[in-house]
């Protein structure tokens, strides 16, 4: 039952002594308390956020062995090695062990000396192992990657379906009646998967904890557009100078976006499953080592990407679900630096998504599941449509974008307004744009506040041929050569409108900084109020609102537009 004698302070002390971590991460303390408390628990936290501690720390505090079902042998091995290194006696049982080693693990488990016993799910098909379960004193029955029990999850494992019955065979170490408490852990937080986990693992009135899904350094925004031309007006400004991923729905649009960017002077490559293996490897490697900064891709790209410094993720079309969206934008800003996620929202893209759901394709799980009856196929398609409707709601909402996503995932720590998304702060500039403004202001300052905008732009672009010698050697000379001069002119205009820069009212029209402009340049003014230029990096919020119609009529007009295109 519950560990009443352990106060929060004791738990923290145990965290420090056993695991060497000074503090809990967000959500961990609540999960540890819930698991110690003795109720069934479903804990949902993103991958890498430290879920395992949620059962490892209770395991060292509770009498008996904590049984951990885990589907990946390599991960299991790493965890067991790490635990033993920390002096927490643990073993793993899986098919890669020799018969002798397996016997050895079983006897160690029977002797009761193990704090944690990791088990691969296929072990539960073995009668010998099921008999052993009845002999163990089990503190907690932990199911890691619990979404594997659900067919809605991306990684269904039939063996997980045995776990509910297997847990019932275990004896709880606290000598209470019934089975030991089950603690299920997953990073997949969608409502369907959560419901499946609770039902199929047989969790009894579980405490459900969802935490850690917020990525506060990612600025979220939705830009409403009418067609591909609108998207292309915005795209170069969203990726230029950044390390960026552009996700499109089909191979053709991936190719078109990449070609358009190249034509706009932004080196970008396409990545999708239709390319030759060598080409895909080349693009992936170039992005990984940093020689290629912008990739346009289908969702095939990203799994193996290990670059923590992606500045921007742009969705060139609406994704199929909120979970896909969040996973894809989650590739931005993993180093904790500010990053931006922009969804270019054209209702017409919904038809492509609907087509992808309804057309038979090999890569969908239900097309590879032989013998599935048509009613089941229809049910699964309906689920995909439901997910699509939820992401349309996200795109259409005027509420806080961050809160909308977090509430979808059931993260109860979500605030109503985040003050750092396109809906809480319409027209706000992102981190890259803020830096751009600072660099322009620095350029004006370094040039001695004695030159007009054409020379300042030429200096920042590194176009030194016609410049006075003093401007050719500044630390800001060529600093923004990856931008276009149009973009820089527009930002200078915006800086003038925001009263960061003034123009002399003599014939020279020289630029100089105002006091607020100097503060911004020095990074001392955090609440920078500047309107993003109406062309260039982004359309203005106003234009966004003008093209926005209430959901139904938007859908209708897009449908008509789509129909007329198909007729042609
Ligand atoms: P996952 O959520 O994917 O299961 P892990 O449990 O493997 O993630 O944890 C990811 C990493 O975070 C590990 O290296 C772990 O040691 C570290 N970690 C977990 N909790 C803390 C903490 N409270 N303080 C510092 N590091 C932690």
DSSP of 471-491? GTSSTTTTTTTTS-HHHHHHH
User: Which residue shows structure tokens 């008509």?
Assistant: 560
Average pLDDT over residues 141-147: 95
Of 387, 380, 255, nearest in space to 316 by CA: 255
Ligand 1, atom 18, residue with closest C-alpha: 50
Average pLDDT over residues 467-472: 94
pLDDT confidence band for 246 (50 / 70 / 90): very high
Say which residue, 553 or 54, is predicted with more confidence.
54
Between the alpha carbon of residue 24 and those of residues 62, 159, 184, the distances in Å are 19, 33, 19
> How far is residue 356's CA from residue 358's CA, in Å, rounded to a whole number?
6
- Record the tokens describing residue 146, joined without a space: 């619990």
> How far is residue 320's CA from residue 341's CA, in Å, rounded to a whole number?
16
Average pLDDT over residues 244-267: 95
Mutate to test the pocket of ligand 1, among 16, 17, 50 (most ligand atoms within 8 A of CB): 50
Ligand 1 within 6 A of 18 CB? Answer: no
Of 536, 438, 539, nearest in space to 480 by CA: 438
Q: If you measure from the C-alpha of residue 48 to the centroid of ligand 1, how many angstroms do you get, rounded to a whole number?
A: 6
> pLDDT > 70: what percent of the chain?
88
DSSP-derived 3-state class of residue 342: strand
Q: If you measure from the C-alpha of residue 283 to the centroid of ligand 1, how many angstroms do you get, rounded to a whole number?
A: 31
Is residue 383 scored above 80 in pLDDT?
Answer: yes
- Record the tokens describing residue 449, joined without a space: 């506040």
Relative to the CA of 23, which ligand 1 atom is closest? 23
Q: What is the structure's pLDDT at 327?
A: 86
Between the alpha carbon of residue 423 and those of residues 226, 271, 320, 551, the distances in Å are 19, 31, 21, 17
Lowest mean pLDDT across 73-87, 497-511, 534-548:
534-548
Q: If you measure from the C-alpha of residue 19 to the centroid of ligand 1, how many angstroms do you get, rounded to a whole number?
A: 10
Question: What pTM was estimated for this model as a whole?
Answer: 0.70
- Record the tokens describing residue 272, joined without a space: 């999708």
pLDDT confidence band for 434 (50 / 70 / 90): confident
Ligand 1 within 6 A of 21 CB? Answer: yes
In 10 A of CB 126, how many CB atoms?
Answer: 12
Radius of gyration in angstroms for the set of CA atoms belonging to the chain, rounded to a whole number: 28
Bridge partners (DSSP) listed for residue 91? 117
Ligand 1 within 6 A of 25 CB? Answer: yes
Q: If you measure from the C-alpha of residue 481 to the centroid of ligand 1, how many angstroms do you get, rounded to a whole number?
A: 41
Ligand 1 within 6 A of 28 CB? Answer: yes
Ligand 1, atom 9, residue with closest C-alpha: 50
Ligand 1 within 6 A of 284 CB? Answer: no
Ligand 1, atom 16, residue with closest C-alpha: 50
Relative to the CA of 82, which ligand 1 atom is closest? 16
Of 393, 343, 314, 313, nearest in space to 223 by CA: 343
Q: If you measure from the C-alpha of residue 268 to the centroid of ligand 1, how many angstroms do you get, rounded to a whole number?
A: 35
Pairing verdict, β 511-513 and 501-503: antiparallel
Q: What is the structure's pLDDT at 420?
A: 84
Ligand 1, atom 24, residue with closest C-alpha: 21
Q: How far is CA 134 from the centre of its chain?
A: 41
Is residue 370 scored above 70 in pLDDT?
Answer: no
Half-sphere exposure of 105 (CA within 13 A, CB side): 23
Q: If you measure from the C-alpha of residue 193 to the centroid of ligand 1, how many angstroms do you get, rounded to a whole number?
A: 23
> How far is residue 465's CA from residue 469's CA, in Å, rounded to a whole number?
9
The side-by-side arrangement of strands in the sheet containing 312-315 is 218-224, 339-345, 312-315, 244-247, 294-297, 268-271
CB 36 within 8 A of CB 28: no
Ligand 1, atom 6, residue with closest C-alpha: 50
Q: What is the pLDDT of residues 79-134, one digit of tens each?
A: 999 999 999 999 999 888 898 998 899 889 989 889 999 999 999 998 888 988 88
> How far is residue 243's CA from residue 239's CA, in Å, rounded to a whole number?
7
Q: If you measure from the C-alpha of residue 26 to the centroid of ligand 1, how many angstroms do you get, rounded to a whole number?
A: 11
The DSSP line for 406-465 is HHHTT-TT--S--SSBTTTSTT---HHHHHHHHHHHHHHHHTTT---HHHHHHHHHT--T
User: Which residue shows structure tokens 């109020």?
Assistant: 529
Relative to the CA of 21, which ligand 1 atom is closest? 24
Of 132, 124, 128, 134, nearest in space to 172 by CA: 134
Mutate to test the pocket of ligand 1, among 53, 75, 210 (most ligand atoms within 8 A of CB): 53
DSSP-derived 3-state class of residue 113: coil
Ligand 1 within 6 A of 453 CB? Answer: no
Is residue 436 scored above 80 in pLDDT?
Answer: yes
Is residue 5 scored above 50 in pLDDT?
Answer: no
Average pLDDT over residues 285-295: 94
Q: What is the pLDDT of residues 320-369, one digit of tens each?
A: 999 889 989 989 998 888 899 999 999 999 999 999 898 866 455 545 44
Relative to the CA of 47, which ligand 1 atom is closest? 3
Q: What is the structure's pLDDT at 550?
A: 34
Q: If you measure from the C-alpha of residue 485 to the centroid of ligand 1, how many angstroms do you get, rounded to a whole number?
A: 46
Relative to the CA of 49, which ligand 1 atom is closest? 2
> How far is residue 265's CA from residue 239's CA, in Å, rounded to a whole number?
11
């Amino acid at each position: 039952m519950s560990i009443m004698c352990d106060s929060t302070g004791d738990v923290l002390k145990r965290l420090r002594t056993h695991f060497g971590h000074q503090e809990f991460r967000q959500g961990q303390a609540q999960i540890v308390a819930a698991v110690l408390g003795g109720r069934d628990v479903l804990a949902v936290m993103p991958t890498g956020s430290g879920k395992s501690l949620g059962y490892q720390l209770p395991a060292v505090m509770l009498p008996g062995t904590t049984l951990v079902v885990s589907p990946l042998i390599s991960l299991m091995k790493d965890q067991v090695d790490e635990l033993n290194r920390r002096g927490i006696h643990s073993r793993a049982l899986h098919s890669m062990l020799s018969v002798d080693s397996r016997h050895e693990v079983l006897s160690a488990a029977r002797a009761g000396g193990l704090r944690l016993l990791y088990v691969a799910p296929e072990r539960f098909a073995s009668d010998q192992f099921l008999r052993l379960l009845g002999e163990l004193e089990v503190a907690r029955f932990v199911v890691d990657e619990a979404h594997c029990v659900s067919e809605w999850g991306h990684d269904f494992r039939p063996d997980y379906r045995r776990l509910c019955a297997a847990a019932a065979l275990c004896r709880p170490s606290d000598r209470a009646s019934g089975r030991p408490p089950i603690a299920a852990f997953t990073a997949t937080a969608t409502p369907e998967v959560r419901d499946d986990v609770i039902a199929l693992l047989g969790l009894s009135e579980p405490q459900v904890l969802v935490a850690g899904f917020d990525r506060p350094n990612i600025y979220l925004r939705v830009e409403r557009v009418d067609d591909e031309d609108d998207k292309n007006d915005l795209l170069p400004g969203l990726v230029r100078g950044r390390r960026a991923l552009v996700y499109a729905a089909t191979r053709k649009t991936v190719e078109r976006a990449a070609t358009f960017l190249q034509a706009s002077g932004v080196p970008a490559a396409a990545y999708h499953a239709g390319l030759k293996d060598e080409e895909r490897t080349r693009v992936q490697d170039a992005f990984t080592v940093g020689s290629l900064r912008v990739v346009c891709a289908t969702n095939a790209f990203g799994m193996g990407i290990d670059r923590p410094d992606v500045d921007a993720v742009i969705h060139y079309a609406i994704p199929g679900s909120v979970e896909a969206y969040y996973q894809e934008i989650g590739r931005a800003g993993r180093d904790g630096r500010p990053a931006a996620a922009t969804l270019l929202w054209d209702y017409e893209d919904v038809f492509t998504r609907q087509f992808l759901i309804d057309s038979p394709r090999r890569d969908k799980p239900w097309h590879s599941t032989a013998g599935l009856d048509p009613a089941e196929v229809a049910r699964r398609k309906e689920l995909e449509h439901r997910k699509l409707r939820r992401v349309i709601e996200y795109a259409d909402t005027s509420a806080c974008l961050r809160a909308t996503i977090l509430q979808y995932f059931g993260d109860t720590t979500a605030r109503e307004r985040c003050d750092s998304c396109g809906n809480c702060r319409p027209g706000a500039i992102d981190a890259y744009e803020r830096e751009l403004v600072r660099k322009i202001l620095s350029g004006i300052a370094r040039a001695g506040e004695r030159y007009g905008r054409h020379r300042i732009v030429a200096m920042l672009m590194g176009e030194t041929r016609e410049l006075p010698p003093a401007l050719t050697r500044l630390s800001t000379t060529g600093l923004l050569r990856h931008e276009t001069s149009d973009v820089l002119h527009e930002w200078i205009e915006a800086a003038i409108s925001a009263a960061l820069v003034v123009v002399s009212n003599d014939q020279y029209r020289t630029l100089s900084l105002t006091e607020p402009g100097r503060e911004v340049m020095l990074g001392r003014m955090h609440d920078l109020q500047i309107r993003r230029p109406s062309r260039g990096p982004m359309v203005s919020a106003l234009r966004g609102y003008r093209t926005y119609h209430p959901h139904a009529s938007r859908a209708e007009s897009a449908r008509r537009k789509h129909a007329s295109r198909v007729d042609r």
